[in-house]
Chains A and B, each alone.
Chain A
Amino acid sequence: MNPNQMPPERRDQLLVRYLDGNLSTAEVDALSALLKTDADARASLWDMAMQALTMADLAREQAIKAPLRAQPVRETGGPRRWKRAAVAVTAAAAVIVGAVAFWLSRERAEIITLTQVSGAASWSPEGGQAESGLKPGAQMRAGTLSVEGAASSAQLRFADGSVVTVAGDSELALSHGAQRQLALRRGSLTGDVRPQPADRPMLIRTPTAEVEVMGTRFLLVAQSGETQLSVESGRVRLRRLADGSTVDVPQGHVAVATLDTAARLESRQLPPAPSAWQQTFDQPPPATWRGEYTAADAAGPGRLRNLLDVSIRRADGTPIPAYTVEVRDSSGSIASVWPDSVLRLRWRTATRQELLVLVGVHHPTGGFAGNFQTTLKPDAGRADAAGWRTLDLPLASLEGKFPAGVRLQPGSRVFLVYLACYSPKAELEVAEVAIMPPSSGASR
Chain B
Amino acid sequence: MLAQADIVRTLLAGRMRISASVWVIVRDAQAAEDIFQNVTVKALAGGGQFECAAQLVSWAHVTARHEALNLIRSRKARVLVLDAAVLELLESEWVREAARPEGDRVEALRQCLDALPDESRRVLRLRYFEERSCAEVSQALGVGLDAIYQRLSRLHRALAQCIERRLAGQAQRTSPEAP
Task: Tell me the A residues contacting B by CB distance below 8 Å.
Answer: 8-9, 12-13, 15-25, 28-29, 31-33, 35-36, 42, 44-59, 63-66, 68-69, 195, 233, 251-252, 269, 271-272, 275, 336, 338, 364-365, 409-411
Contacts and interface: CB of A to CB of B under 8 A. Distances in A.
B29 interface: yes
A306 to B, nearest CB: 35
Interface of B: 4-5, 8-9, 12, 16-17, 19-21, 23-24, 27, 29-30, 32-33, 37, 40-42, 44-45, 47, 79-83, 85-86, 89-90, 93-94, 97, 105-106, 109-110, 113-114, 118, 121-122, 124-125, 127-131, 133-135, 149-150, 152-154, 156-157, 159-160, 163
Q: Max chain B CB contacts within 10 Å: which of A55, A59, A251?
A: A55
Judged by DSSP, the binding face of B is: helix
Contacts of A23: 80
A47 B42 CA distance: 28
A12 B152 CA distance: 9
A410 B153 contact: no
Given A16-B134, A68-B122, A411-B45, A365 B37 contact: yes
10 contacts: A15-B153, A28-B81, A46-B20, A46-B90, A47-B159, A52-B127, A54-B16, A66-B121, A271-B5, A365-B40
B46 to A, nearest CB: 11
Nearest to A56: B29
B82 A12 contact: no
Contact of A51 (B9, B125, B160): B160
Given A44-B157, A51-B156, A272 B150 contact: no
A63 B125 contact: yes
Contacts of B44: 272, 336, 364, 411
Contacts of B133: 20-21
A36 B24 contact: no
A294 to B, nearest CB: 35
A195 B130 CA distance: 9
A52 B29 contact: yes
